[in-house]
Amino acid sequence: MGDVLNADLAHWLIQASYFLAAILFISGLKKMSHPTTARGGVIWAGLGMLVATLITYLEPGMNNYMLMTVAIFVGGVLAWWSGKRVAMTDMPQMIALYNGMGGGSAAAIAAVELLRVLTGAGLTHEAVAARELAVLGALIGTIAFSGSLIAFAKLQGWMRKVYRFKGQQVFNGLVFVALIYLGVMLATSDFSLAQFTAFFVLALLFGVLMTVPIGGADMPVVISLYNALTGLAVGVEGFVLQNPAMMIAGIVVGSAGTLLTQLMAKAMNRPLSNVLFAGFGTGDDGGSSSEVSGSMKAIDAADAAITMAYAEKVVIVPGYGMAVAQAQHKIWELTQLLRSKGVKVLFAIHPVAGRMPGHMNVLLAEAGVPYDLIEDLEDINSQFPNTDVALVIGANDVVNPAARKDTSSPIYGMPILDADKARNVFVVKRGQGTGFSGIENLLFFEDNTRMCYGDAQEVAQKLIQGVKSL
């Protein structure tokens, strides 16, 4: 009788803990939707994961407690150490890497379950549905794993080239067909170790082939997509293991990632298929073929500072160049100086600015910029015509008027920040190159635009000195 009561109590405790974890996951995600509550949201979701992890020790039939504990300890220490050390500029590639680890973990779970089928110790022919889900999770998780690693390499600068070859779409299609064939065999019939191995090798290869042709400028969308795929893979494997925490966490991450991917693609006015498949085998790196008239006109930081100090309204448009130079703290110091002189200063953020969703918001928050000074594209664009100075720091495509004016441009039709409509535009840029995406920016050649060349942090310091000297 006592054993039955203990078993019932353990079952009740496990289910209650999973329910609590689900509430914490969903509440945490909700709080992450707003910058002022995002930190608390991360903590809530982290507590949910802690609850779900600890309660696993009480699952019936669980063993290898020492191995589980060592793995959790080692992984936790490595994550804490790397999280504390990573620079904010490197956060996109860390997210891509950790996202890949999630997909790889889901694929590893599926691999173990399928190997148990192979040895006759696990899912049987009678459990075809569970085997199908295991194969589906293995496919999605493996692709997300290898694809995320390639995204990491591109963002880290280890792989700068966009690799394309003739007939790439056809080749990728054949690889995917072979994957489906092997997947069906693994899910519904007897299979050999060679077929099992070939399935995972091809899935890894497909993730690489899917990502290497995509340019670095599209990485925010790619990271978001692989995040969604990882969540889906985890959710699917949760159904295989009948683990509610994995189901809920995977479904929440997968649905949120899918929505974010759609929003990112919409912000670029491009269908997701265009991001993933455009230009395959053409050798086109995405540059505009139109000729640019006019020339870039330079301005000294001291002169730009004078104009800004006597302006009524300044809008700052941050981009990845600010992140690379780690200039966000200097820009906030400049903002405080201008505000002390009665200048109204706002920050304009484009949804795809930087190398990951929300990258610029995170950088500005780190520097202490109040959220009420940060405006989204839809809210700020109507204000540019009444803006005295638009200060563009390391941004390119998100302020390129070619999106409105040049029908031959790859970004034509993409919603942009209308910085060119300000009375004066100062662009902080290292040199005269076309930037990360390789597209010429018409803004740099406008009559009201002046180029302030140099490292963003150095230029910001000169602007600060210029304002202080008045």
Residues that are catalytic: 397
* Beta bridge pairs of residue 416: none
On whether the CB atoms of residues 318 and 345 are closer than 8 A, the answer is no
Give the torsion sign (CA, 451, 456, 458, 462): positive
User: Distances from the Cα of 125 to the Cαs of 60, 90, 186, 225, in angstroms?
Assistant: 24, 46, 11, 33
For every residue of 19-77, DSSP letters joined together read: HHHHHHHHHHHHHHTSTTTHHHHHHHHHHHHHHHHHHGGGSTT---HHHHHHHHHHHHH
Spatial strand order in the sheet of 374-376: 374-376, 344-349, 313-318, 389-393, 424-429, 449-453
- Between CA 454 and CA 293 the distance in angstroms is 24
Helix (H) or strand (E) holding 337: helix 328-340
Judge residue 361's burial from the number of C-beta atoms within 10 Å of its C-beta, 0-12 exposed, 13-18 middle, 19 or more buried: buried
Q: How far is Cα 310 from Cα 268, in angstroms, rounded to an integer?
A: 35
Residue among 352, 337, 161 nearest 268 (CA): 352
Return d(Cα 247, Cα 314) in angstroms, integer: 48
Which residues have a Cβ under 8 Å from the Cβ of 311 and sit 6 or more positions away? 338, 343, 388, 389, 424
Locus of tokens 């500072």: 305
Q: No. of H helices and E strands in the chain? A: 17, 6
Rounded to an integer, what distance in angstroms lies between the CA atom of residue 136 and that of residue 134? Answer: 5
